[in-house]
Structure 1
Amino acid sequence: MVRLVAMMAATFGAVGFTGSARADTWNFDVRLDGKPIGTHRFTVEGPDEAREVTSIAAFDVKLLGITVFRYRHDARERWRGDCLQQIRSSTDDDGKPVKVDRRLESATPGEPDCLMSYAYWHPALVRQQRLLNPQTGEVDEVRIERLPDAAIPVGGRDVDASRWRITSTAPSSGKSAPARQVLTLWRDRADGRWIGLDAQVKGDRVLTYRLP
């Protein structure tokens, strides 16, 4: 679950930022095999040239009332246009502390050094081949494929959604390398807004993000 949480703890948002100052917040309910384990809150604010993104997650997996896995994650990102400029994150991965403090100040839109994190909110995410992992600070190789459209429950109703499969591998490991993680990204077909995320985790379990 660790690799998955790192990816999901990246960023979020909605399609169509206009450049004016604004703030948006998403509060996802997180479930493991259908059972609630916590929440993940995301906030993005500011104009396109100076976006500030915050991601805060808190998970507790219990067995017979006893906590068997605990996860806390707090990440702060700064963007310029479509490029990630800086990331600072602090993670407690079941008692294992991890910190990232990385600057990418030279990143320029349209240039090879322009990287995104796992920014599910961004329309261009589905065209990326590399994404920065917010928990580890590493750059993952990714393969992103369009899946058939389907419906997903959002706020008590079914919403028609577009889907993409995101498969990550270790850097420079080649197309035949085993997958580190496989995610399914859901966006509202009507406006492109990010509305859900699924993932296969250790033990053939399923982790889901859904809006209440």
Structure 2
Amino acid sequence: MKFWIKLWEPIFMKTMNLFGARARTYAFTSAVFAFATIASWQAHAVTKTLDFTVLRDGKTIGTHSYTISDQGDETLVEVSTDIQVKVLFITAYKFHHTSKELWRGGKLVSLTSTTNDDGTQKALQVTASPGKLDVDSIVHDQDRRQSADINTQPASLWNPTIVHQHKILNTLDGTMMKINVSDFGTEVVEAAGAQVSAHHYAISGELTRDVWFNDAGDLVRVRFPDKTNSEIIYALK
């Protein structure tokens, strides 16, 4: 139990600070629920980790990872992204994001994230309530509360069922993004130091991502353009 409390403490404290007094009671209640749920998994959860190197035009700029823990019909997903783009040894852009998702029966139960997008602080908390998702976010110190359909999926990309969606939840600020998905079939791509067969989908619209999933349903590669039209690739280590 102590291990999981230490694991959640940083993101919990960031959320407390960013959301202010109105949301502190809400955040505390959600965190206590999460601690109790996660503690029961310690001896039983089956966990896998997907670690990616982030490349910009072929040069390493950071890391991206998923830790996915399954127990029964519940899944805990921890996501971490750490990126720094340097120009002449000076950091021109930095991005740090962490999130935790709890799924039950194939549906999102809760999501908490904190993001430093090149100095812009963002926080998000999503909680399932009867028939909907309650979505609270803060960007530029502006608090926004909205709701989403109970079946909405986050844009964290790890779940292959994302390719069947038409709207997805931005995991940085809670906005809804309309998307279209094109199926390019099976291709051979490099992943984890080997050539693997993976299914290629192209997501377009308010989110642009090419994603590849292997036969086990694991995300093995991601490609997209950044704001300068440089090619970003998440390459599975």
Specify the TM-score bucket, using the shorter chain as the normaliser: 0.7 to 0.9
What do residues 19-40 of structure 1 show as CA deviations (whole Å, max 9, x unaligned)? Answer: x831111111001111100101
For structure 2, list consecutive stretches of 5 or more residues without a partner in the other structure.
Answer: 1-43, 133-148
1:192 to 207, 217, 234: 217
Letter of the 1:156 partner, please give it: G
Match of 2:67 in 1: 43
CA RMSD of aligned residues (A): 1.9
8 A Cα contact 1:85 1:107, kept in partner = no
TM alignment of 1:24-35, pairs within 5 A? 24-35=48-59
Separation in 1, partners of 2:167, 2:220: 22
Q: What is the DSSP-based 3-state SS (H/G/I as helix, E as strand, rest coil) of the residue aligned with 2:80? A: strand
Separation in 1, partners of 2:124, 2:226: 23
Relative distance call for 1:51 and 1:81 in structure 2 (3 A) is: same
| Higher relative contact order (CA closer than 8 Å, sequence separation 6+) | 1
Match of 2:115 in 1: 91
What do residues 131-190 of structure 1 show as CA deviations (whole Å, max 9, x unaligned)? Answer: 111101112111111014322111222222210001132xxxxxxxxxxx32101122x4
Q: What is the DSSP-based 3-state SS (H/G/I as helix, E as strand, rest coil) of the residue aligned with 1:197? A: strand
2:217 counterpart of 1:204: no
Q: CA deviation at 1:67?
A: 0.6
Structure 1 length as normaliser, TM-score? Answer: 0.77
Bigger CA radius of gyration? 2
8 A Cα contact 1:87 1:102, kept in partner = yes
Relative distance call for 1:52 and 1:155 in structure 2 (3 A) is: closer
Relative distance call for 1:80 and 1:200 in structure 2 (3 A) is: same
Separation in 1, partners of 2:156, 2:168: 9
Q: CA deviation at 1:204?
A: 1.8
Letter of the 2:155 partner, please give it: Y
Alignment size in residue pairs: 178
For structure 1, list consecutive stretches of 5 or more residues without a partner in the other structure.
Answer: 1-19, 170-180
2:162 counterpart of 1:122: no
8 A Cα contact 1:82 1:114, kept in partner = no
Name the % identity. 25
Structure 2 length as normaliser, TM-score? Answer: 0.69
